């Protein structure tokens, strides 16, 4: 069985494009987007890493940062970074792990042998400052990920950590949210001074509490 939501993200030491790290020390007090890509010098990955670099300020607003991984050696990573910067019009600003012995990939179940035994799939782990895995998703090597969805997911996690709400389908920051079913109407009256709309006993919406 792979890693599950709520598990502590396994610690490891690794060589990266920004020097050697101990993962838990590197996380510090931040949220982390830890994602794998199949290989260096590949077109989809080039666009993904370039776009992620462009999101640095958006990550920073959320107290978050990114780190990537593939099984290619560090020399390839450094060479590829130049291509990313040239083709995507961005300065790379987050580390890429060189997992040549596949130890981290196997720890995080990033290699799916039935898909491709030689490369990592497009796995994503959202890890909170307590080092807990809060969300995961996995794409095949052929499909690029939507990193705007990663930001939306972090927004939802941070909001729902602070308030007794859930976020509905296609929710975006600033939109109405759902009062969790475990809260009684009496308690909801106290917790949500902006009021709420009772569509069904189990479906109550309220304006986003922190806006």
Per-residue pLDDT tens digits for 148-173:
999 999 999 999 999 999 999 999 99
The whole-number pLDDT of residue 157 equals 98
Flag whether pLDDT at 1 surpasses 70: no
The whole-number pLDDT of residue 2 equals 81
CATH 3.30.1020.10 domain span(s) along the chain: 163-206
Flag whether pLDDT at 117 surpasses 80: no
Residues 6+ apart with CB under 8 A from 82: none
**Second CATH level (architecture) for the domain 163-206:** 2-Layer Sandwich (3.30)
Count Cα neighbours of 194 within 13 Å in the Cβ-side half-sphere: 11
Flag whether the pTM goes above 0.85. yes
Q: Residues 123-156: pLDDT tens digits? A: 999 999 999 999 999 999 999 999 999 999 999 9
- What gap in Å lies between CA 103 and CA 13, rounded to an integer? 10
Annotation says 20 is catalytic: no
The whole-number pLDDT of residue 32 equals 98
Count Cα neighbours of 2 within 13 Å in the Cβ-side half-sphere: 15
Catalytic pick among 45, 55, 159, 165: 45
Beta carbons within 10 angstroms of residue 41's beta carbon: 12
CATH 3.40.30.10 domain span(s) along the chain: 13-145
Q: Selecting from 3.40.30.10, 3.40.50.1820, 3.10.20.30, 3.50.7.10, what CATH number does the domain 13-145 have?
A: 3.40.30.10
Task: Determine the average pLDDT of the residues in 173-202.
Answer: 97
Q: Residues 19-59: pLDDT tens digits? A: 999 999 999 999 999 999 999 999 999 999 999 999 999 99
The whole-number pLDDT of residue 17 equals 98
State how far the alpha carbon of 125 is from the alpha carbons of 108, 174, 184, 188, 210, in Å.
9, 25, 33, 33, 26
Flag whether pLDDT at 14 surpasses 80: yes
Q: Residues 59-116: pLDDT tens digits? A: 999 999 999 999 999 999 999 999 999 999 999 999 999 999 999 999 999 999 888 8
Task: Determine the average pLDDT of the residues in 186-201.
Answer: 96
């Amino acid at each position: 069985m792979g890693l599950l939501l709520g598990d502590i993200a396994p610690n490891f030491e690794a060589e990266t494009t920004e020097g050697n790290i101990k993962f838990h020390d590197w996380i510090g007090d931040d949220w982390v987007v830890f994602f794998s890509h199949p290989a260096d010098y590949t077109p989809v990955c080039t666009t993904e890493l370039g776009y992620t670099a462009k999101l640095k300020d958006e990550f920073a607003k959320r107290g978050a940062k990114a780190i990537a991984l593939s099984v290619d050696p560090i020399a390839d990573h450094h060479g590829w970074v130049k291509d990313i910067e040239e083709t995507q019009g961005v300065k790379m600003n987050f580390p890429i792990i060189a997992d040549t012995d596949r130890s981290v990939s196997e720890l995080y179940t990033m290699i799916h042998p039935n898909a491709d035994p030689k490369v990592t799939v497009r796995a994503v782990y959202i890890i909170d400052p307590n080092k807990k895995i809060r969300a995961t998703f996995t794409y095949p090597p052929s499909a690029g990920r939507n990193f705007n969805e990663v930001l939306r997911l972090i927004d939802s996690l941070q909001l729902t950590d602070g308030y007794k709400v859930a976020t509905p389908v296609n929710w975006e920051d600033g939109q109405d949210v759902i009062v969790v079913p475990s809260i009684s109407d009496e308690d909801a009256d106290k917790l949500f001074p902006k009021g709420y709309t009772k569509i069904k006993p189990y479906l109550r919406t309220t304006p986003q509490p922190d806006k």
